[in-house]
């Protein structure tokens, strides 16, 4: 992407954070459909920061990750990712098993078993196959979460965007894929919009981060659009760092 | 009740759709994980309705829609996608889709689009 990197003030970050928040509620519907997680078992927190601040602001640390990435095109361009600690992905996998494969309540009306597992005892089920199913579920969840967010950009701001096919990295031991995306964002966009998604269904607890890294042109488009709509640019929330 | 073919590269989405459709009394007569497989199944099964994902590896759903319509101009196809509204929806309509559903969706939204498609199809209706 060409164009200089714009310097985004704290105030503009807050404006972006508030705008991004308007779309985040749609994520609960996606989680309910894909993973069977009830909306009341999901807590969302929206964070807008610079790419270099991502780890400090999210507390992600240096743990191995599972993530899905895609590119966004249209009125706002950039990269979008769904990130989980790999350890949390194991928890997510169990939630998927319970909710979708029906392991917690065999034969339940709501559960179902893939063709290749039908007729087999749970103990016999191939762990790797189940894992593959969970990777598929995670990728599709990302696809739907990305889509939900982009739909909200359209519905709330009339910004038309579309995404490429999502790509899964099942194990990012050294966070190479995340670092590559954050570095690009630091060079070409300077904004990281994150929704921290904490899920606690049935005593489980795991976190995911939906990360949107718009390029400079996209940030400009977004802020110009907001200004044109008459959104006040002097909004200041208590505790917000000085701009 | 309709005989429905589900086409989506995500196994979990196929299963979610199958579960929702069967709960509503429909019969899922086939599940395909790619556009090509979906087209082959359509030729053999001739379902009443197809739910078709747009973004799939090895040939997108819009091409598959065109191929299905080429062999059956009365085919009843609902595009089911995470792409949202906008150009994809417009292109789907232009290529002859009967309906358009954005993921995530609730079961009742799926049923509503299907009901509209099945009742309006002969009049060239469009459901979303």
Q: How confident is the model at residue A142 (pLDDT cuts 50, 70, 90)?
A: very high
> Quick one: closest CA in A to B85, which residue?
A151
Contacts for A74 with CB less than 8 Å, ≥ 6 apart:
A159, A160, A161, A162, B86
- The owner of tokens 């701001």 is A157
Does residue A60 sit in helix, strand or coil?
A: coil
Interchain pair B106, A29: CB under 8 A: yes
Give the closest of B12, B85, B88 to A140, CB-based: B12
Interchain pair A33, B19: CB under 8 A: no
Domains in chain B, please, with CATH? 3-123 (3.40.50.2300)
Q: Are A136 and A93 in contact (CB under 8 A)?
A: no
Interchain pair B19, A112: CB under 8 A: yes
pLDDT value at residue A229:
64
* pTM over the 0.90 mark: no
Q: Which of B8, B10, B61 to mutate to test the interface with A (most CBs of A within 10 A)?
A: B10
Determine which of A93-107, A128-142, B37-51 has the lowest per-residue pLDDT on average. A93-107
Chain A environment of B84 (Cβ under 8 Å): 147, 150-151, 154, 161-162
* Residue A228: its H or E element: helix A216-228
pLDDT value at residue B67:
96
Q: How confident is the model at residue A104 (pLDDT cuts 50, 70, 90)?
A: very low
Q: Are B38 and B87 in contact (CB under 8 A)?
A: no
Q: Which of B13, B82, B87, B90 to mutate to test the interface with A (most CBs of A within 10 A)?
A: B82
Q: Peptide bond before B104: cis, by omega within 30 degrees of 0?
A: yes
Predicted interface score ipTM higher than 0.90: no
Domain boundaries, chain A: 10-85+142-228
CA distance A104 to A84: 23
Helices (H), B24-86: 35-45, 61-71
Q: Does domain A10-85+142-228 have CATH number 3.40.1550.10?
A: yes
CA distance A169 to B98: 35
Q: Distance of alpha carbon B18 from its chain centroid, rounded?
A: 12
> Quick one: closest CA in A to B11, which residue?
A136
pLDDT value at residue A239:
42
Radius of gyration of chain A (CA): 19
Count of A–B CB contacts within 8 Å?
74
Higher pLDDT: A203 or A124? It is A203
Q: Which of B6, B28, B86 to mutate to test the interface with A (most CBs of A within 10 A)?
A: B86
Phi, psi of B53 (to 5 degrees): -70, 150
pLDDT value at residue B36:
94
Helices B11-23 and B107-120, interaxial angle, to 10°?
70
**Which tokens go with A86?**
């790999």
Interchain pair B103, A114: CB under 8 A: no
> Quick one: closest CA in B to A75, which residue?
B86
Q: Are B5 and B41 in contact (CB under 8 A)?
A: yes
Q: Distance of alpha carbon A215 from its chain centroid, rounded?
A: 17
Give the closest of B10, B19, B85 to A140, CB-based: B10
- State yes or no: pLDDT of A77 exceeds 80: yes
Interchain pair B85, A154: CB under 8 A: yes
Q: What is the mean pLDDT of chain A?
A: 78
């Amino acid at each position: 992407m060409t164009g200089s990197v714009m310097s985004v003030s704290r105030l503009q970050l807050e404006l972006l954070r508030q705008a991004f928040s308007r779309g985040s509620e749609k994520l609960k519907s996606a989680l309910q459909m894909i993973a069977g997680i009830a909306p009341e078992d999901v807590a969302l927190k929206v964070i807008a920061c610079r790419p270099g601040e991502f780890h400090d602001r999210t507390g992600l640390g240096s743990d191995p990750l599972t993530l899905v990435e895609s590119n966004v095109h249209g009125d706002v361009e950039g990269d979008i990712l769904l990130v989980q600690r790999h350890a949390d992905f194991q928890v997510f996998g169990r939630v998927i098993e319970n909710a979708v494969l029906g392991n917690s309540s065999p034969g339940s009306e709501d559960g179902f078993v893939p063709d290749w597992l039908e007729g087999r005892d749970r103990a016999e089920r191939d762990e790797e196959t189940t894992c593959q199913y969970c990777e598929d579920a995670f990728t599709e969840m990302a696809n739907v979460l990305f889509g939900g967010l982009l739909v909200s950009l359209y519905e709330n701001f009339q910004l038309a965007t579309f995404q490429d096919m999502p790509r899964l990295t099942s194990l990012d031991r050294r966070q190479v894929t995340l670092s590559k995306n954050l570095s690009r964002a630091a060079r070409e966009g300077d904004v990281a919009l994150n929704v921290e998604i904490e899920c606690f269904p049935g005593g489980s607890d795991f976190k995911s981060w939906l990360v949107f890294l718009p390029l400079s042109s996209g940030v400009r488009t977004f802020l110009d659009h907001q200004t044109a709509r008459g959104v006040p640019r002097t909004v200041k929330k208590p505790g917000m760092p000085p701009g | 009740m309709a005989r429905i073919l589900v086409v989506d590269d995500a196994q979990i989405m196929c299963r979610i759709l199958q579960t929702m459709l069967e709960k509503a009394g429909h019969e899922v007569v086939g599940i395909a994980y790619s556009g090509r497989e979906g087209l082959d199944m359509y030729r053999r099964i001739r379902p009443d309705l197809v739910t078709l994902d747009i973004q799939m590896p090895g040939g997108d759903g819009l091409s598959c829609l065109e191929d299905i319509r080429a062999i059956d101009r009365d085919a009843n196809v609902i595009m089911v996608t995470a792409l949202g509204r906008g150009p994809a929806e417009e292109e789907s309509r232009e290529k002859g889709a009967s309906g358009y559903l954005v993921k995530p969706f609730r079961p009742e939204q799926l049923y509503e689009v299907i009901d509209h498609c099945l009742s309006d199809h002969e009049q060239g209706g469009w459901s979303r």
